[in-house]
Amino acid sequence: MMYSDILTNKRMAMMIVAVQLVLLGALIIYPNGLIALTAIISFVLAAAVWRFGFIIKPILARQANVLEGFGQYEIPSSQDVIVKKLGNRYYAASYLLVRFSQSSTEKTPDQIALMRQSYERALSSLNYVYRISNMVCPVDLSKYVEKIKEKRSGAESRLSEVISLPPSANQGSDIARLKREIESCENQLERIQSGDRPMKILNFAMTCASSHSRDDAITRVKQQAAELRTVVASTLDTEILPLTGDDMKRCFEWDHILPDKEDHDEFLY
């Protein structure tokens, strides 16, 4: 198993560029078509790694069984958990993205009360440690309005497509979900026009498991994450997605340092 703490997009690209420079030097000294072709291929690889490293890196890590490390923590080749050893025990953490299709401000008091009761009963049945975090950031209104309109337009197009399809078991739930999404967009636009300042909110969950074995700790935390995903999604009517690679590491870093309000691209969608 390889262990590396230097597997980053920038450094991988720099390594390929270094190889390219060597090839170019060799091409000047020894003109050769094969060397020229290799230099061109290395240039394309460097550009691809620089631009799409967030996709390439997890694939390379998985295929090469690379164990990425930073500080006292390590990330296995699956790129879906963070592991730390304390004493003779291993602790594994897993992160989930929580996407709400509808704000609580768009629900009636009775709906909010029922949702809270169901949510509290469901979470109280879990017998392990977990955390659900919210991160809030002010939004540039002009860009935000365009994004909401694009989202509403996309939801309306998908709704038309679903309605035109032959009846199926999931058609009713898909139609209801898309209608809620469209209604949420319209409510957000209405609130903006009324003078309310929108905020960008990122919700993510995290759970942790421990064991004397690294593999056992990873297996346990994945089971917990799957159960937490089911419970939260069913009680809050949300979309829950497992976080991997750089997205997972961002959530881990946000436990210590938050992004600046101008760094909107740092938020997950």
CATH of the domain at 105: 3.30.70
> What proportion of the chain, given as a percentage, has pLDDT over 90?
20
Backbone angles phi, psi at 256, to 5 degrees: -115, -45
Same domain? 93 vs 134:
yes
Q: In total, how many domains does the chain have?
A: 3
Per-residue tokens: 190: 């209405």
Task: Please provide the average confidence, as pLDDT, over all residues in the chain.
Answer: 77
Q: What is the pLDDT of residue 209?
A: 95
- Please give the helix or strand (H or E) that residue 95 lies within, else none: strand 89-100
Examine the domain organization and report whether 106 and 217 are in the same domain: yes
Q: Are residues 42 and 169 in the same domain?
A: no
> Binning pLDDT at 50, 70 and 90, where does residue 109 land?
confident
Q: For residue 76, give every residue at least 6 positions away whose Cβ sits within 8 Å of its Cβ, in sequence order, or none.
A: 67, 83, 218
User: What pLDDT is attached to residue 169?
Assistant: 82
Same-domain pairing of 204 and 121 = yes
Please say which residue of 174, 197, 220 terminates a domain: 197
Statement to judge: residues 114 and 219 lie in one domain: yes
Residue 102 sits in the same domain as residue 226: yes
Confidence of residue 89 (pLDDT cuts 50, 70, 90): very high
User: Measured between alpha carbons, how far is 269 from 134 in angstroms, rounded to an integer?
Assistant: 14
| Rg of the chain on CA atoms, in Å | 23
Statement to judge: residues 43 and 162 lie in one domain:
no
CB 146 within 8 A of CB 162: no
Q: Is residue 20 part of a domain?
A: yes
Identify the domain boundary among 70, 100, 117.
70
User: 114 and 231 share a domain?
Assistant: yes
Find the mean pLDDT for residues 238-251: 87
What's the rounded mean pLDDT across residues 159-179?
87
Number of helical (H) and strand (E) elements in the chain, helices listed first: 7, 8
Lowest mean pLDDT among 12-26, 177-191, 245-259: 12-26
Q: pLDDT at position 243, please?
A: 92
Task: Return the pLDDT at 152.
Answer: 92
Q: Are residues 110 and 236 in the same domain?
A: yes
What are the tens digits of pLDDT across the range 188-229? Answer: 888 877 776 667 778 889 999 999 999 999 999 999 999 998
Residue 180 domain flag: yes
Q: Which residue range(s) make up the domain with 149?
A: 140-197
Based on the fold, state whether residues 151 and 57 are members of the same structural domain. no
- Phi, psi for residue 197 in degrees, rounded to 5: -90, 120
In a domain, 231, yes or no: yes
The residues pairing with 134 across neighbouring beta strands, listed in sequence order, are 203
Angle, helices 245-254/33-64, rounded to nearest 10 degrees: 60
Query: Average pLDDT of 1-11?
Result: 44
Domain stops at, among 153, 178, 197 = 197
Encoded tokens for 225? 């994450």
Q: Is the pTM of this model over 0.75?
A: no
- Within a domain: 266: no
259 vs 241, residue with greater confidence: 241
Q: Where are the beta strands (DSSP E) in 187-261?
A: 199-211, 238-242
Assigned domain for 120 exists = yes
Asked whether residue 267 is assigned to any structural domain, the reply reads: no
Do 126 and 255 fall within a single domain? yes
> For residue 150, is pLDDT > 70?
yes
Residue 3 and residue 132 in one domain: no
